[in-house]
Structures are given as structure tokens and as C-alpha cells.
Amino acid sequence: MRSPSTAPFIERLSSRGSRVAAFVILAVLVAPMLVIVPLSVTSGTLLIYPIPGLSGRWYEEFFTDALWVDATWNSIVIAIPTTALATALGTSAALGLNRLRSRLAPAITVFLITPIIVPIIIYGVAAFYYFSRIGISGTYLGLVVGHTVLAIPFVVVTVNASLKNFDPNLLRAALVLGATPRQAFTRVTFPMIFPGVLSGGLFAFVTSFDELILTLFVSSPEQRTLPRQLWSGVQETINPTITAAAVVLMMVSILVMLLAEWIRRRSSKMQGKP
Amino acid sequence: MAVFFAVPIGTFLSRSVDNTELVGMLPNTMDAIESWDGAGLPDEPVFEALGEDFLAITDITAAAGLGRRLNHNITGYRSLVMRTFSGLRDHAGPLGRDELIQIDDRWGEPEFWRVLRQERGTFTSLYLLASLDLENTADGIHRTAPENRLFVDLLTRTLWISLAVTVLCLIFGFPLAYVMAASGPRLSNWILVLVLLPFWTSLLVRTTSWIVLLQRNGLINQLLESLGLIDEPLSLIYNRLGVYIAMTHVLLPFLVLPLFSVMKGVGSDKTRAAAGLGAPPLTVFRRVYLPQVMPGIIAGCSLVFVLSLGYYITPALVGGPRDQMIAHFIAYFTSESVNWGMGASLAGILLLTVVLLYAVLARVIGFDRLKVRQ
């Protein structure tokens, strides 16, 4: 936030030049994604501008072609259990770690979020190797397990953040006023961290829904997900159906992002913060 | 987490030094060859032991596996193993030096025996050395023949591309983060939304967009042609340029977000004081502002650098064969050429680099700042 007193220097440096530069960069950052939106509703078969006319034929193909429909279905079927598992495990891990006053706690937290740090290619290949040995490679179970591992860190991070904002005095107050520990949890702790849990779950969903690298290694053709179908489509021929699929994936991400943002605003309002 | 994350990576990485497959298939030979000093040809008992081990191999897949494994040491071993395997199919009677050499005279060459002697242990350094373009032969460790050198080149290329992408991200990200931090809350919020939008969108979708844009008859070439700037389409994709463009775009938010959060926290008291004391703007920027936002620059740059080291999807889709990074080869060795040892060695090198960089980073600026999303 800018206070009036900081203005002069900032003004001098952020002269018109740097401002223009920033907006050009911003445009370049966003434009490539927007450019494919009109192309997905072209009536022609080529990905060129100006588009000859509007048509929903590529979306129609996307929503009727067995390959794309199956892929979409697979993505949903895998993302839902992944979200549930990752949210449950991540939340309990965060709660447990928060209560653990041991010196090990930070180390465990770091361990829990290592899947973000380790390049996914390594985990993808390793999971392929290990899952084949234990017989879950090429199964839905294998993919759900793999995606859950990748999604847990996001849940741990968001729930941890909401626990940091949580005032432990509230819990003490509830206990003093005669609530059982169980009641205190369900009536006080959980409602307070619920927004964090919810956005963690949203992160988990997007992680699974957009995941490609692990899926490439662990899935068999039967479990081909939307990103995987898009990947093989891009390598063969770029046609407007691919842009339609890309727009659908993009819309899912944007929707989830808006939802997460809405939750964040609501919860900060609830806690009386700006 | 431990079972499904740490254990798979551990077991997979252990493949880089694992030699039990080979020792398990040739147990007698590995015992017998212990007593041979490596000069000339081994004694008769070693030949007999090898014959015995070969007779114990019943199916062709196992023989092919053995051949493939030994072929990693010397090319030509595969055909030697296969010929020996089929030559012994209907074998009866004694089996020693003469019979083996008769099946394939390469058993008369010490070179092939030296490989077996060298690989007699449970662990092998073959793959780790190979991923650094080194080999271990009878006369010690030395560099592989120039025409076989591949991996040092690959590692430097990976580092170079990552470095270039990091610098590009800094060049474009710095002004953006700066303006974001300097704008009023409303504008700054809007810019934040626009930066987060690509951040949340799947990497595959963004790479796809770039393919559409950069293709030979893609939008950028069309635009340049219609403006009369070029006569024929530029090749913007399936080469290094395409990799730089797409990766910089994909990774830019990772630099902007940490840098923005640091810049936002930097007040202007010090810079104003310096300016008030008569320092020219450039000096103020260099001597006062820059040091204050340095943690953000370091965090953002290292994040981009570390992330790009392991990139797979984007280079695979927009790069040419000469622009593939280490991740591509990890994938190649495990899914196409089924050389687990090489795949695991390269993965080990990548993981070690990444972990070291994070450790240094965590030391310098604290672990809490290194969160990838928000």
C-alpha cells in the first residue's frame, strides 16, 4: 500500500517509461492465453486470424468425441478422490504438527512439502518404477496415490497458514467454559480453519486436474486424463479441438482461482481484517 | 507420504549403483573370476563357471536382459550373449574354454572378460561415471571417447538454459514487480490478478498457446508478414529461441510474486533520505533501493532457476532435439531405452543439485519464503 509520504521518490522512478514497460510485459504475460480463446470458436479448420466466422463445432467435437469425453471423465474421477484424500491427510498433518511442540516439527513440515521441491520428473519416473513393482502402475489407484502425494503439500501450507492466524485463546476459552475437547474442535477450531482447509482442497483439485508428468509415466491408455490427451494431441497436430480443450482446462483453473479468492476475502472479513 | 514418496524415490535412485541383477544372473562366474588377475585370459574354471551360468538361463527374455546390461559396458556384448545363449541351446557334454570360443570367438578376447571382472561387485559405478562422460576400464577412470561424450554437454546445456531463462525473467519481472509495488492498491490488485491468472493456468495450456503463436504459419509470423517486416516466416519454434520464449513466460510469475512481496515491504524513507542528501537517482537506485530488495531478487531468481532445471513439458513441446534438458533424458532412459541405471544416475545428479540449491537458499533467506504457490 502506498502512503502519501512515499510518493515523491516512487513517482520519480516509476516514470512513464517504466510504467509503459510494465504494462507491455503484463500484456505479453496474459495475451498468449487469451489468443487461443477466439481460435477455439473459429468456423475454419486453421488456427489463423482473422477467423472466418464463429462456430461451436470444435466444442461440439470436444464434448462428443469419445477420446476427449473419456479423458475429461477420467480427470474428474481421479481428481475427486485425490482432493478428498489430500485434504484429509494434509489437514490432519497440519493440525498434528501444530500441536507437536517437538524440535522435529519443522523438519517434518519440510519433509511434507518436499514434493513441491523435488522436480516432478524424478517423482514421476520413480513412481513408475515403484508402482510397477507393487502392482498399482497403470491403475486408477496408482494415479490417485501419486496425485495425492503431489497435492498434500499445498493443503499443509494453506492449513498451516490459517492455523497461524488462529488465536489459541479462543480454544482455551471454549475449554474453560466447559466444552469437551471434541466440542471445542468441531465448534471452534474447525470453523476457524475451515477456509484454509477449503482452499487447500481447491489447490489439491487443480494439482490433480492439471497434472501431466506423473500421469505420463504412471497411467496406462485406459486412464488417459485430459492433460494427457491434450499432450498427445499437441504432439500430433494442432487443430482447433485442442484449443477448445485448452480453453476448458483454463476455465477450470480460473474458476477455482476465483473461488479460492472469494473464500479468502470472506474469511478475512470474518476475522475482522481488511 | 514416506511410503509413497520417499520410498519410490529412494528405490529408484538406488538403481544408479545397483548391480545385483548382473551378479544374480552370473553367480558362479562372479565367484570364479575373483581369482583372476585381469591379465591375459582367465583360467579354465572361469570358463566352466560361465558355461554353467549360461546353461542355467532358460528363457530368452532373461538372456536379452543380460545382454542389454553388459552392452552398457561394451557395445557388442549383447550379440555375444545372444549368440552364446542360442549356441548352447542343444549343448551336451563338457563345456569349457574351447567350446565357448567355438560358439563365439569373442570369448577369446580379454576385453570382454575384464568387464565381468570389473562388474563382479554388488554395486557398480558404471552409470554414475557414464553420466559424467567417464568410464572405468582396466587402466583406471578416464574420459570416454569424444564421439561418445554426451552428458557433460547435456548438463552444461541444462544449466545454461536455466540461467538464460532466469536472467530473462529478471529483466522482464523486475519492472513489472516494481510498478506493481509502486501503484495504488486498486491497480496493484488488478495487476496481481493478471499475474496470478497465468500462474494458475496449467503449464500445458500455456505451452500450447505458444505453439499456436510461434508456429511457421502462426500468429506472430502472420503479424510480422502483414506488417511487411519479413518476407518469409521466421523459425521461432522447435529451436532454442522457442524454449527461451515459452519458459520465460511460464516461469515469470515465480519471479514476480516473491519480488513483489519484498518490494511492497520496502518503505521509501531511506531512498528519500538518500535523494534528499543529493544522491543522483541512479545512485539511489543502485546503492539504496537495490540492496533492500535483494532478498526478493535472490528468492525469485533461485526459484526460477531451480524450477527450470527440472523442466520437461515445455522443452519437449517447443524445443528441437538439441534443446532437450536433463529431464528429457531421464524420461528417455526409463521409458524408451529401459536403462534404469542411467535414468537413476541423471535423476540423482538433478536431485542433488536442486536440494543443494534449496539448502543454500534456505540458509540465506529462510525456508518460509520459498513457498511455491502463494
Residues A204-258: tens digit of each pLDDT? 999 999 999 999 999 888 889 999 999 988 888 777 888 899 999 999 988 988 8
What pLDDT shows up at residue A3? 42
- Does B252 fall in a domain? yes
Residue A115: Cβ within 10 Å count: 23
Confidence label for B140 from pLDDT (cuts 50, 70 and 90): low
pLDDT in tens, A106-128: 788 878 888 888 899 999 999 99
* CA of B92 vs chain A CAs: smallest distance (Å): 37
Instruction: Evaluate whether A150 touches A123 at the Cβ level (below 8 Å).
Output: yes
Same domain (yes/no): A34, A107:
no
pLDDT in tens, B259-305: 998 888 887 777 778 888 877 877 888 888 888 888 889 888 988 99
Q: Which of A117, A132, A230, A243 to mutate to test the interface with B (most CBs of B within 10 A)?
A: A117
Same domain (yes/no): A115, A210:
yes
Closest CA relative to residue A29, chosen from B318, B192, B303: B192
Greater model confidence, B162 or A261: B162
Greater model confidence, B121 or B1: B121
Q: Which chain A residues in 76-115 lie under 8 Å from chain B, judged by CB atoms?
A: 89, 110-115
3-state secondary structure at position A42: strand
Chain A, nearest residue to B200 by Cα: A253
Chain B, nearest residue to A151 by Cα: B1
Give the separation between CA A56 and CA A71, rounded to whole angstroms. Answer: 20
Residue from the list B8, B215, B267 with its beta carbon closest to the beta carbon of A126: B8
Instruction: Evaluate whether B201 touches A19 at the Cβ level (below 8 Å).
Output: no
What pLDDT shows up at residue A271? 60
Enumerate the residues of chain B whose CB falls inside 8 A of the CB of residue A158.
374
Confidence label for A272 from pLDDT (cuts 50, 70 and 90): low
What pLDDT shows up at residue A177? 87
Instruction: Find which of A7-21, A223-237, B3-17, B86-100 is predicted with most confidence, using mean pLDDT.
Output: A223-237
Cell 466444442 sits at which residue?
Answer: A59
Same domain (yes/no): B214, B356:
yes
- Does B12 fall in a domain? no
Residue A40: Cβ within 10 Å count: 22
- Does A60 fall in a domain? no
Greater model confidence, A139 or A109: A139
What pLDDT shows up at residue B252? 93
What pLDDT shows up at residue B196? 85
**Residues paired with B141 in a beta bridge:** B136
Cell 567417464 sits at which residue?
Answer: B134
What pLDDT shows up at residue A104? 78
CATH number at residue B194: 1.10.3720.10
Q: What is the pLDDT averaged over residues B149-178?
A: 91
Enumerate the residues of chain A whose CB falls inside 8 A of the CB of residue B205.
33, 230, 246, 249-250, 253
Arithmetic mean of pLDDT over chain A: 84
What pLDDT shows up at residue A90? 92
What pLDDT shows up at residue B370? 45
Q: Which chain B residues in 69-128 lie under 8 Å from chain A, judged by CB atoms?
A: none
The dihedral formed by the CA atoms of B204, B210, B216 and B218, expressed in degrees to the nearest 10:
120
Instruction: Check CB contact under 8 Å for A33 and B271.
Output: no
What pLDDT shows up at residue A5? 43
Could you report the predicted ipTM of this complex, rounded to two decimals?
Answer: 0.81
Q: Is A234 on the interface with B (CB under 8 A)?
A: yes
Q: Which domain holds residue A14?
A: 4-39
**pLDDT for residue B20 is more than 60:** yes
**Residues paired with B134 in a beta bridge:** B143
The dihedral formed by the CA atoms of A89, A91, A92 and A95, expressed in degrees to the nearest 10:
160
Instruction: Check CB contact under 8 Å for B204 and A127.
Output: no
3-state secondary structure at position A2: coil
**Residue pairs spanning A and B at CB distance below 8 A:** 230
Q: Which domain holds residue B166?
A: 151-370
**Residues paired with B140 in a beta bridge:** B137
What pLDDT shows up at residue A83? 96
Total tally of structural domains belonging to chain A:
2
Instruction: Evaluate whether B205 touches A252 at the Cβ level (below 8 Å).
Output: no
Q: What percent of chain B has pLDDT over 90?
A: 16
What pLDDT shows up at residue B139? 65
Enumerate the residues of chain B whose CB falls inside 8 A of the CB of residue A8.
272
**pLDDT for residue A14 is more than 60:** no
Among B107, B122, B137, residue at a domain's last position = B122
* CA of B218 vs chain A CAs: smallest distance (Å): 7
Q: What is the pLDDT averaged over residues B36-46?
A: 80
What letter would DSSP give residue A4? G
- Name A148's Cβ contacts closer than 8 Å, sequence gap at least 6: A82, A85, A86, A89, A204, A208, B4
Enumerate the residues of chain A whose CB falls inside 8 A of the CB of residue B335.
125, 128, 217
Give me the sign of the Cα torsion angle A194, A200, A201, A206: positive
Greater model confidence, B38 or B352: B352
Give the separation between CA B161 and CA B171, rounded to whole angstroms. Answer: 15
**pLDDT for residue A1 is more than 60:** no
* CA of A271 vs chain B CAs: smallest distance (Å): 20
Same domain (yes/no): B55, B164:
no
What pLDDT shows up at residue A13? 52
Instruction: Please state the φ and ψ torsions of residue B142, each to the nearest 5 degrees.
Output: -150, 175
Enumerate the residues of chain B whose CB falls inside 8 A of the CB of residue A39.
212
Q: What is the largest CA-CA distance in chain A?
A: 72
Same domain (yes/no): B278, B337:
yes
Confidence label for B365 from pLDDT (cuts 50, 70 and 90): low
Q: What is the pLDDT averaged over residues B299-321?
A: 90
Same domain (yes/no): A8, A132:
no
Confidence label for A270 from pLDDT (cuts 50, 70 and 90): low
Greater model confidence, A75 or B28: A75
- Does B44 fall in a domain? yes
Q: Is A235 on the interface with B (CB under 8 A)?
A: yes
Q: What percent of chain A has pLDDT over 90?
A: 28
Same domain (yes/no): A8, A76:
no
pLDDT in tens, A55-98: 888 898 899 988 899 999 999 999 999 999 999 999 998 888 88
SS3 of chain B: CHHHHHHHHHHHHHCCCECHHHHHHCHHHHHHHHHCCCCCCCCHHHHHHHHHHHHHCCCHHHHHHHHHHHHCCCCCHHHHHHHHHHHCCCCCCCCCHHHHHHHCHHHHCHHHHHHHHHCCCCECCHHHHHCCCEEEECCEEEECCHHHCCHHHHHHHHHHHHHHHHHHHHHHHHHHHHHHHHCCHHHHHHHHHHHHHHHHCCHHHHHHHHHHHHCCCCHHHHHHHHCCCCCCCCCCCCCHHHHHHHHHHHHHHHHHHHHHHHHHHCCCHHHHHHHHCCCCHHHHHHHHHHHHHHHHHHHHHHHHHHHHHCCCHHHHHHCCHHHCCHHHHHHHHHHHCCCHHHHHHHHHHHHHHHHHHHHHHHHHHCHHHHCCCC
- Does A132 fall in a domain? yes
**pLDDT for residue B1 is more than 70:** no
Q: Is A22 on the interface with B (CB under 8 A)?
A: yes
Chain A, nearest residue to B358 by Cα: A117
Total tally of structural domains belonging to chain B:
2
**Residues paired with A54 in a beta bridge:** A42
Same domain (yes/no): B76, B199:
no
**pLDDT for residue B374 is more than 50:** no
Q: Which of B13, B199, B200, B312 to mutate to test the interface with A (most CBs of A within 10 A)?
A: B200
Residue from the list B202, B222, B354 with its beta carbon closest to the beta carbon of A249: B202
Instruction: Please state the φ and ψ torsions of residue A54, each to the nearest 5 degrees.
Output: -95, 145
- Does A48 fall in a domain? no
Q: DSSP string spanning A107-160?
A: HHHHHHHHHHHS-HHHHHHHHHHHHHHHT-TTSHHHHHHHHHHHHHHHHHHHHH
Instruction: Check CB contact under 8 Å for B204 and A249.
Output: yes
pLDDT in tens, B190-200: 888 888 888 88
- Does A49 fall in a domain? no
Q: Is A203 on the interface with B (CB under 8 A)?
A: yes
**pLDDT for residue A8 is more than 90:** no
Instruction: Evaluate whether B256 touches B296 at the Cβ level (below 8 Å).
Output: no
CATH number at residue A157: 1.10.3720.10
Enumerate the residues of chain B whose CB falls inside 8 A of the CB of residue A94.
none
Same domain (yes/no): A127, A205:
yes
Cα B105–chain centre separation: 39
Question: Which range among A36-45, B123-132, B140-149 shows the weakest confidence by mean pLDDT?
Answer: B140-149
Same domain (yes/no): B329, B213:
yes
Residue from the list B184, B191, B343 with its beta carbon closest to the beta carbon of A26: B191
Closest CA relative to residue B211, chosen from A30, A47, A49, A40: A47
Instruction: Please state the φ and ψ torsions of residue A177, each to the nearest 5 degrees.
Output: -75, 5
